[in-house]
Each structure stands twice: as C-alpha cells, then as structure tokens.
Structure 1
Amino acid sequence: MSKSFKKVLVSLLVSAAVLSLAGCGSSGSSTTTSSAKISGEINGGGSTSVQKVIDAAGSEFSALNPDVKFTYSGTGSSDGIKGATAGTYSFGCASRDLKAEEKANLTELVFAYDGIAVVVNPANTVSNLTKDQIAKIYMGEITNWSEVGGADAPIVVVSREDGSGTRSATEELIGFAEKLKPDATIKEGNGNVQTTIAGNQNSIGYVSLTFVDKTVKAVDVDGVKATVDNVKNKSYAISRPFLALYDKSKVDDATLAFLDFLMTDDGQAIVQKEGAITV
C-alpha cells in the first residue's frame, strides 16, 4: 500500500468520525446549551427617582422573557426599603444610602448614580446659587428672590414628602436636615415637584436629574452645572447612588435574573438612555 493511499484512507476515516459525532450531537437534548426559561411575577417598588430607569429596564427584560410579568410602584425610598425587608416587594429601590437600622438582612446593589438638580421656573433669572443660599432658602432665612440676585418676589419653597430618598439626600448634602421651613409646599414624587415648578414662576424645588426637561431650569450650584459629567467627575456636589435591595432568603430566581440584567452592558445602556449615570 503506497504512502499516498494511506494518507487518503486516514483522511476519509477521520472525516467519517467527525460526521458521526456531529450526528450524535444533533439528535439528543444532552448537548443543548440554551439557558433555563425565566418566568414569574416581579413586583418592585420604592424610589420615584429610579422609576424611569427601572420601568425601561423592566419593559426590555419582559420583552426578552415573555413569561415574566414585571411591575414597579413608585412609592418612595423608605417604602422600598421596608417592602424589600418584609418581602412584600420582589426587590425595593432607594435613591439614598441606607441608615444602619435599615440594613437588616438586605443585599444592596448599586446599579446607577444620579445627581439632584435644584430647579426653578424657566422665567426665573437666577441661574446660580451657593449651597449656603439654598440651605437658607429651605430653612426660611432667605425669603425673597431679590436676596439672591433675582426679581423682587417671594420665594415659594417646594420640597418632598417624608420618606423620600431625594429629600433625605438633598437635606443631608445641602445642610438643612430637620430644618425645613414649616410652610414649605410638599409634593410626592419627582414628577409632581417638576409640574409645580413649571407652573409657578417664583418657586424652587429639587428633582432627580432624570426629571430635568425644558419645563424647568436647573440652576448651577456653587458655579457648577448639574450634568452627568460633573456628577461623574465629582465636581457637582449633590449626587447619590441608586440602589436595588433584596433579602437573599426571600428573593426568587426571576428577580435575581432581572437584577443581573440591570448590570449587563444592555442594562447599563438603558440606565444611560434614561438619564442616570452608569456604574
């Protein structure tokens, strides 16, 4: 038998073996690499600041996993923490750091960062305030826009409800915790604050950066603009984390899969698209 014939024969035998293995692989379920099907009901709740991000991420996750029913209720950070602790929510969200007594058995996932914008009506000529001026406005020590370079008009102070993560973070970062003026207008949710400021030329409020649009004007704080870049480079002082919270002993696989999705490239792209800051 010639060497060339032996080479051809060996080649034919190898090819036959490869084809045989391929056939075996295609015939049974033992070779499948597809992931387990995700199904179930995910009901999150908590901070309204994160709602645009969570709603968009939940919508995309449900589209990728049609057997998942996803809902999120914007009820405030404190409620999100309580719901995650009790297990009444699949996961909770907070837009502030947790207090020591709130941590309990909760696992904290930082999925984004956010800046808090101090906003006025677009007709207001004031474009910059110091942290000290903002604090004094919210404590009632500065009561007229003329005191900070604006028109001679009373300042209408708009704040958030008790339990709001945005309120807690703002009060701590600006420096008026537990000192809010008694007659401040209280609104629940970023959207309601935004609408109130848009409708009153003399008002001032604060909202998540994700709620700043053409209906309100974000003022500079200590000469620094409220932008994503300035939050990232830490030059803008009023910023906080966005947290997803869950109890490991109560969380289900579908919820964990959603939280994993939040941290993927696709999930973080949604974070950025919705105006928050990626991790």
Structure 2
Amino acid sequence: MKKVFAILLTLTMALSLLAGCGSSKKEEQPAETNDTKTEQPAEAAPAPLSGAVALNGSTSMEKVVGALGEQFMSDNSGVSVTYDATGSGAGIEAASNGSADIGLSSRALKDEEKADRLVGTTVALDGIAVIVNPANGVEDLTVEQIAKIFTGEITDWSELGGAAGTISCIGREAGSGTRDGFESITGTKDACKMDQELTSTGAVIEAVAGNPNAIGYASLSALKDTVKAVTVGGVVCSEETVLDGSYEIQRPFVFVTKDGVALSAQAQAFFDFATSSAANDLIRGAGAVPVA
C-alpha cells in the first residue's frame, strides 16, 4: 500500500512540473513594422517677400518710420519701403482713398474718420516738447502759461521771469498732427496766434533756433541740440515721463489702415513687424516710446 502511495505521489509531482513549464512559455508576438506608416510631405518654405510698401503722412514720424523701413528692407531684400512726408491729414486721406498702403498720423483718429472705416493702430507714443532758443533763460512753464503764450495773453518773456523781449510763437500748419495734439492738450484749438505756421517739424526747430525770442513745439523724436526743451510743470519731456504719463503734452504715432481692405503680403509683414516687440529698440533709438 505504501508502495502504491509513493508511486502516485511521484506521478502527481511530475505532472505538476510539466504544467509549470507549460505555463512559463509565452507566445511570440510578431514584430511591429513601419510598413503601414506613410511619410508626410515636407512643408514648402514661404516665398521671399517682394514688391513695395507705400507709407504716407506725418512728418513727425520720419525718424521712427525711417528706422523701421531700413531694418525691414535689410531683412527683406526684395521689398522697398517708401515714405511720403505729407502731414497727418494727407496720410489719413491716402489710407482712405488707397493711394498708400499705410497712412501715418501723429494724432488719434477722429470719430468721423473712424466712421469712414479707418482703423488706427498705435505704434509708439511721442512727447511734444515745448522748445525755446538756447539763449532763453526760461526753464519751466505750466500748461496754462503755454496756452496763454500761444493765444496772445502773455506776450513778453519778462512776464515769465525771462529777459524782456516780445514772444514770437512758431507752430505747424493746419492739418498737422503735431499741431492738433498740441492744441488739443493745451486747450488752444483754433485760438493760437502764431507769427509763423510751418509745414514740417524740422522747419519749426530751425526757426526757433534762429530767433532768441521764439517759442514752438516739436516731436520728442525730432529734437536737436540747437533748441532747448523747457520742462512742463516741472517734468522733463523724456521716454520715461511720456510712458508713465507724467509729461502732459504727448500724443500717439498711428498706423492708419482701412477696415475690410486687405494689405499686400509685404505691407502686412511690415505692419506686423513695426507693431511687434521686435521693433522696440528701433523705435526707442528714433526717440519715440515703444508700446508693444
């Protein structure tokens, strides 16, 4: 009986070992292949830009637009950027009638211009410096004093602590964005009494530089050491004070386009570049304040 039991035990163990060996075997899976994968065609590189970009408008934006245009043409050798300095009013009209790709305005668009489907995009901010001849002893003026000078209430420098001399007011022509900004901020719209109305910022600077009793206004981006910018309410006209709003006499530099009218590929690319942070150093180097 014991012998039979031993044989049965031996057979049971053998069967258990065989079952264990069988369960340890794994079915081999077929190797994955890439036969079913399809290669995606490589995207074609965009064609280089070519053609012209026509800009028209504000004379105050000359340095900013010049710097932006020069860099854009350097980066895109097939594109030419042209700039016709005609004043803000003419630039806005050029954007409206399609004679320019982008109009340039050194003031915000008016409601009636927006009603004509025009769109203004601020590219930079610009301080309007109040300038006098370097020989003038007056260093600071308030906005109220500036308004009284340009409307004829104050006529002599001695009334402001300077040497005696009849004040000569020099400004821009009607339609100028600089004039519009200056008059809007100082509250002198259609009330200024000027000895000279000149057609460019450079001409105003030159006239003030040549007249010891002159006062005028000019874009911060266009200032030269041939004139002196007075502080306004104790605040110097600078990038920092324009950006933080502490300098009161400031205005935007605006790109004007028409809603619903697509720009050419090269004009759109210039627009995108000029309004991006990539243009900030160029705008700053031209004396204006970047906003991107």
TM-score bracket relative to the smaller structure: 0.7 to 0.9
Shift of 1:36: 3.0
Any idea what SS the aligned residue of 1:37 has? coil
Counterpart selection for 1:75 from 86, 96, 112? 86
Residue in 2 that maps onto 1:95: 106
Partner of 2:71: 60
Equivalent residue of 2:146, what SS?
helix
Output one character per residue of 1:71-96: Cα deviation in whole Å (capped at 9) or x when no partner: 10111111111000000011101111
Give secondary structure in 2 for the equivalent of 1:236.
coil
Q: 1: distance between equivalents of 2:120 and 2:153?
A: 38
Instruction: State yes or no: 1:274 paired with 2:286.
Output: yes
Counterpart residue number, 2:228: 217
Larger displacement relative to structure 2 (249-258 or 153-162) = 249-258
Structure 2 portions without partners, runs of 5+: 1-30
Give the 5 Å matches for 1:1-279: 30-32=41-43, 34-103=45-114, 104-181=116-193, 183-247=194-258, 248-249=260-261, 251-279=263-291
Distance 1:107 1:37 in 2: 28
Per the alignment, in what secondary structure is the counterpart of residue 125 of structure 2?
strand
How far apart in 1 are the matches of 2:44 and 2:287?
Answer: 36
CA deviation after TM superposition for structure 1 residue 253, in Å: 1.6
Superposed structure 1 runs of 4+ greater than 6 Å apart? none
Note if contact 1:116-1:166 (Cα within 8 Å) is conserved in structure 2: yes
1:117·1:226 contact (CA, 8 Å) conserved in 2? yes
Specify the SS of the correspondent of 1:31. Answer: coil
Q: Distance in 1 between matches of 2:134 and 2:58?
A: 26
Q: Is the 8 A contact 1:121 1:204 kept in 2?
A: yes
Letter in 2 for 1:134: I
Tell me the distance in 1 between the aligned counterparts of 2:277 and 2:149: 41
- Paired residues in the alignment total 258
Q: Secondary structure of the residue that 1:98 maps to in structure 2?
A: coil
Give, as a single letter, the amino acid of the residue that structure 2 aligns with 1:204.
I
Give the residue type in structure 2 aligned to 1:192.
Answer: A
CA displacement 1:178-236 (0-9 Å, x = unmatched): 1011x521111111111111111110000000112211110011111111111111111
Unaligned runs of 5+ in 1: 1-9
Supply the distance in 1 between the matched residues of 2:208 and 2:127 (Cα, whole angstroms). Answer: 18
State the distance in 2 between where 1:78 and 1:250 align. Answer: 22
SS in 2 for 1:69: strand
State TM-score, norm by structure 2.
0.83
Percent identity over the alignment is 41
The structure having more radius of gyration, on CA atoms, is: 2
Cα deviations by residue, 1:13-63 (Å, 9 ceiling, x for unpaired): 99xx8xxx9xx89xxxx4246333111111101011111111111111111
State whether residues 87 and 250 of structure 1, in contact with CA within 8 Å, keep that contact through their aligned partners in structure 2.
no
- TM-score, normalised by the number of residues in structure 1: 0.87
Counterpart contact for 1:38–1:65, Cα < 8 Å: yes
Contact 2:108 2:120 in 1 (8 A): no
1:166 is matched by which residue type in structure 2? T
Deviates more, 1:230-239 or 1:103-112: 103-112
- Three-state SS of the structure 1 residue aligned to 2:242 is helix
1:109 aligned partner, one-letter code? T
Task: State the shift of 1:243 in Å.
Answer: 0.6
Please, what is the CA RMSD of the aligned residues? 2.0
